Amino acid sequence: MKRSLTPKPARKLAWTRPHQGACATALACAALFALAGCPGSYEMEPDEPCRQAGFAIASRTQACTGDADRANALYERFVEEYACRIGKLNKQQYRCAYNVNALDCQQVETFGDDIQQYLTEEGCYQILSRKDGTPMPVKGDAALVALTTDAECSQVVFRLAELESACGSGGDPADYFLLIATDLALDHSCQEGASASDVAACLADLDQVRCIDFSVGEELLNTTSSCQAVIRPNTQAQEIAPETAK
């Protein structure tokens, strides 16, 4: 279920990172409540884990730069660009805020105002989605990052995820997206120079697939020739190996 993240009332927020053994603010306490056992009570709304992720980004920005205006601007962008996609609350959903809050200032400096970089932390992908439909980035090796962030490759992976959803258990395609990309990253690569027409041809062929003919996304990708121009198996390494053995 996707929920729109409702902004807090228009006011300056004092972003403060909680100190070990104490909760510096009610918001920070809510973010770490389930994980660190912060004392006190705080009534949590259904989208609380998602909003706490945004607060964590702003909190680290304020703590590391001393710039409250920049921190507030980042949170406002977060609200505008991301949607919450959680159902029943559980403590694991606070992993995103917890891990963002643990970033050191060198990492914050590196990420700058790039919200997506913060949201590659563990736990963020599971609770958030981009409102414009762009797949959420993930942290991993180069192949996995390319499959999930490259404009052309990510479209193909997401279409496979949609097929998995439609022909399988009917879950959220976003949940299948990372699973399929992780499997493909083991022995597939994005093709440099793939064009919009290459992607369109691949997607058109995938759209013709019937559920009765669909089993595993990787097998479907490998047997759809038009998709080889976008994502293809790393067959070159397999072909070179026998030569090396000689």
Which H or E element spans position 130? strand 128-130
- Asked whether 217 and 173 are in contact (CB, 8 A), the reply is no
Per-residue pLDDT of the chain (246 residues; tens, 9 = 90+): 555 554 443 333 332 333 333 333 334 444 443 334 444 444 557 789 999 999 999 999 999 999 999 999 999 999 999 999 887 777 888 999 999 999 999 999 999 999 988 998 888 888 888 888 777 777 767 888 788 878 899 899 989 988 988 888 777 777 788 788 888 988 999 998 899 999 999 999 999 988 888 778 888 998 999 999 999 998 743 444 444 444
H or E element at residue 104: none
Question: Domain residue spans in the chain?
Answer: 1-134, 140-237
Quick check: helix, strand or coil at residue 40?
Answer: coil
**Beta partners for 84?**
3, 128
Q: Measure the CA–CA gap between 106 and 101, rounded to whole angstroms.
A: 13
